[in-house]
Amino acid sequence: MTSSSTLRERFAASLMPNYGVPPVVLTLGRGCEVYDADGRQYLDLIAGIAVSSLGHGHPAMVKAVAHQAATLAHTSNLFVHEREVELAERLVGLLGGDAKVFFANSGTEANEAALKLVKRAAGPGRHYFVAASHGFHGRTSGSLALTGKDSIREPFGPFGMDVRFVPHGDLDALRDAVDESCVAVFTEPTQGEAGVVPAPEGYLAGVREICDATGAAFVLDEIQSGIGRTGAWFAHQSEDVRPDVLTLAKGLGGGLPIGACVGFGDYADAFHKGDHGSTFGGNPVACAAALAVIDTIENEGLLAHTAVMGDLLAEQLDGIDHPLLAGQRGSGLWRALELSGPHAAHVQEQAAVRGFLVNAVAPDAVRIAPPLVITPEQIGVFIEALPTILDAAEAAATKEQQ
């Protein structure tokens, strides 16, 4: 047996089956390349689901994490420490305006904090929420209640809260759904887990207008899109729109678990003492990692790099003529290959066979979200291999149907 197969057997024997057994066993990462337990090299084009912003083993991350772990690894929320304050100040500076931050450990926890925050701030008579069909906000109960994917939501209801779903990007439907009884609108600038599906241009400005007219809070989930993924610090800055509450995670920690809920204006101070908390939220090591991510994005010009690499990736994908590839969508280094049929799983499998890690995020969509440090040469290697990957995926799909 190979080292990979042995570890997969141990995984199956000791971990719950909610993930199945992943097909690739990773043991080492360097930049945009990772290696499995048998020494095989892959180009990482998914970055831990848009998390590993700086790739693997970046010197700035290694230095920051090692220094902080050796200095002060944990304090809980009973004490103040410098890294947490510094990171909150940096985020407020990047966002501008009157804002305050609550730190959590993940995206779903950031959304749970947002949910409690807007409930706390809501006036009398507000009792329901509006979210987008096919949206994804997390798997804990509150976040799952707001998640518009029936397959993962319905087995765990009821949720004890009234959530009304409207089509993503449909401002007319949203306008009809939101009135003075609505607590908040939760939405994403682009639906990541639905297959990197952008909203129409002007959508966020329209959400802002509807919330202003009704007094509902505008909560924007930038857990995947934030911290440079689209070529801007935050996707909403491209539309010059400010939400009332912003949630972040994934790329913020560059690989370490951290989430953030940011409140603006009146929402910055809506929590009362004791309303919410987290033992590990704002952990010194996680905050040090996030500061290293922000510093490196600034120092290495990775926002501009991400925009240029994203355009290059899109241009080269558009140049591929293959019956299985219907197109591409997304922004920056957050893209989906649009397939002409439900063959994403085969594309993911055949890409891995050829040394590329991608994600079958939907039956007909393959997510590409590499580290922000990816090079033109690495993009070129993938583009050169993609027609062969698509040929193999098409053949596998045909064989399966026979």
Write down the catalytic residue from 103, 218, 250, 264.
250
Residue 111 three-state SS? helix
- Active-site residue, from 136, 186, 271, 356: 136
With a cut of 70, list the residues of the chain below it in pLDDT: none
Cα–Cα distance, 332 to 313 (Å, whole number): 9
- Residues belonging to the binding site for pyridoxal 5'-phosphate are 107-108, 136, 221-224, 279
Bridge pairing between strands 197-198 and 359-362: unpaired
Q: Which helix (H) or strand (E) holds 300?
A: none
CB burial of 118-140 (b: ≥16 within 10 Å; e: otherwise) equals bbebbeeebebbbbbebbbbbee
**136 counts as catalytic:** yes
Q: Which amino acid does the sequence have at 131? A: A
Query: What is the C-alpha end-to-end distance of the chain, expressed in Å?
Result: 31
**Catalytic: 250?**
yes
Helices and strands (H, E) in the chain, number of each type: 13, 17
Which pLDDT score is estimated for 401?
A: 80
Q: Which residues are annotated as a binding site for N(2)-acetyl-L-ornithine?
A: 139, 278
DSSP β-ladder status, 334-339 and 325-331: antiparallel
At CA 382, angle to CA 136 and CA 351, rounded to 5? 65
Question: Nearest 5°: phi and psi at 318?
Answer: -65, -20
Alpha-carbon dihedral sign for residues 342, 347, 348, 349: positive
Contacts of 357 (CB under 8 A, 6+ apart): 24, 34, 42, 43, 44, 45, 46, 351
Instruction: Give residue for tokens 């089509």.
Output: 167
Which string of b and e fits 218-235 if b means at least 16 CB within 10 Å?
Answer: bbbbbbbbbbbbbbbbbb
Domains and CATH numbers, the chain: 3-57+301-401 (3.90.1150.10), 72-299 (3.40.640.10)
- Binding residues, as ranges, are 107-108, 136, 139, 221-224, 278-279
Order the strands of the 245-248 sheet from edge to edge: 99-104, 259-264, 245-248, 217-221, 182-187, 128-132, 162-166
DSSP assignment string, 327-360: EEEEETTEEEEEESSS-HHHHHHHHHHTTEE-EE
Omega prior to 158 cis, within 30 of 0: yes
Q: Is 176 among the residues known to form the active site?
A: no
Q: Which two tokens stand for residue 328?
A: 């591409």
Please, is 211 exposed, middle or buried when counting C-beta atoms within 10 Å of its C-beta (0-12, 13-18, 19+)? buried
Active-site annotation holder among 221, 271, 356, 364: 221
Q: Of how many residues is the chain composed?
A: 402
CA-CA-CA-CA torsion for 86, 118, 161, 108, nearest 10 degrees? -20
